[in-house]
Amino acid sequence: MSAALGQSGPAPSAAAANAQSGQPVSYASVTQLNGLLASLEATAKNTQADLVKLRIEHWKTSSAGKKDALAAVDSIQRNLQGTLPDIISELRTSPEDLPGTFKLYRNLDALCDVVGSVAEGTQQLGSKDEQQALANDLSGFESARKQLAQRMETISAAKEAEIVRLREDLKTARAAIPAAPPAKIVVDDTQPPKKPAAKKKPAAKPTTTTPTTAKPATGQTQAPAPQPPATKPQ
């Protein structure tokens, strides 16, 4: 239980929280949250003072029991002084942020468990004043947790209704957009279609033949070629 009290995520910036909020928050919602957080802060302050007054070392129990009780008290004090104020500050920046609201609820749930365990030990081993003080503190945390649960339910229902409305608006807007007419293709049939140009055949290349000399048949001699007449000298 004490380990759960020390867990806390990184605090978002104010700009990021405002961006998450989207729509403006109503005055009634802010007023309700401020009242819840003010009561919670008062309970946290009283609890810190009441835990300091506990005399756990005087309890008639074992050393292990006293050690566990002191560890639980130390865990509660660290949560009330560090983790809880940081979460409250984040939620004030973005009052209707559901993740931030649930984060506070989860922290309160852990606080109720650990404060409840210390209050139970006080009922058995502490004085009457200690018993009454811790009982009042536990009641304050439980009341804040209950109010926060109701607030989460209200915010969730409002956001769901807003999503439904936006979907209907989008559907109506799409239906109002006129459909684009289909594209027309114009065919001009007043002129006959042109025949495709005939492809020219490539010119045939001339073939060259090499003259051959006839050879005499076997057993025949080739007649000598006639010689031109010799000219007599004058």
| Interval 34-58: pLDDT, tens | 999 999 999 999 999 999 999 999 9
pLDDT in tens, 73-117: 999 999 999 999 999 999 999 999 999 999 999 999 999 999 999
Q: Which of 129, 113, 2 is nearest to 55 (CA)?
A: 129
Q: What is the pLDDT of residue 206?
A: 59
- Six token digits for residue 75: 């865990």
pLDDT at 219: 53
Q: What are phi and psi of 8, to 5 degrees?
A: -160, 135
- What single letter denotes the amino acid at residue 171? K
Q: How confident is the model at residue 25 (pLDDT cuts 50, 70, 90)?
A: confident
Handedness of CA 153, 155, 159, 164 (dihedral sign): positive
Question: Nearest-CA neighbor of 1 among 84, 85, 105, 107?
Answer: 107
Which domains are seen in the chain, by residue range?
A: 26-149 (1.20.120.230)
Q: Does residue 11 register a pLDDT over 50?
A: no
CA–CA dist 123, 135 (Å, integer): 9
3 state DSSP class of 62: coil
Ranges 22-26, 108-112, 179-183, 200-204, most confident: 108-112
The pLDDT-based confidence of 163 (bands split at 50, 70, 90) is: confident
Taking the whole predicted model, whether its pTM rises above 0.75 is answered as no
Here the tokens at position 169 are 């608006």
**pLDDT-derived band at 228, boundaries 50, 70, 90:** low
Q: Is the dihedral of CA 153, 159, 165, 170 positive or negative?
A: negative
Dihedral in degrees, nearest 10, Cα atoms 101, 107, 113, 117: -140
From 51-60, 177-186, 198-207, the region with the lowest mean pLDDT: 198-207
Angstrom distance (rounded) from CA 133 to CA 137: 6
In three-state secondary structure terms, 119 is helix
Half-sphere exposure of 90 (CA within 13 A, CB side): 23
Cα gap 133→53, rounded to integer Å = 10
